[in-house]
Amino acid sequence: MFNGVPMVLQDDLLKSEPFGRHVSRMSIGSMHFDQTLTLFAENAEDDETGPRTRLGMKLVAHNSIAVIGEVIPRLDVQKIIMGYVDTTLRQVQKHCER
């Protein structure tokens, strides 16, 4: 939700590799970007908790945001994207911990 206006998230999967990369074309409202999630298996010999998996996330925007009426402050857009990244990483963590 942005200034009381609901925003729709669309995720179009472009490529998925088991324990590898997951590439999607994403849109949130009028914002469009490519997202790549990468899983890295780690074997830390000094760590008694066992093997770990590291998650990398890359977002690339290829367009500018067209706005009708008032200009959306840049910090507001940044907050939307930061919230999206935080939510996505938390959901992946919860899934992996199950």
Among the listed residues 54, 52, 74, 76, the one whose alpha carbon sits nearest the alpha carbon of residue 64: 74
State the Cα–Cα distance between residues 57 and 50, nearest whole angstrom: 23
Question: Where do the structural domains in the chain lie, given as residue ranges?
Answer: 9-97
Q: Which residue has the tokens 């669309």?
A: 10
pTM: 0.65
| CA dihedral sign, ordered 33, 10, 6, 95 | negative
State the Cα–Cα distance between residues 68 and 30, nearest whole angstrom: 11
pLDDT digits (tens, 9 = 90+) for 52-93: 778 888 888 765 555 555 555 666 777 777 888 888 888 888
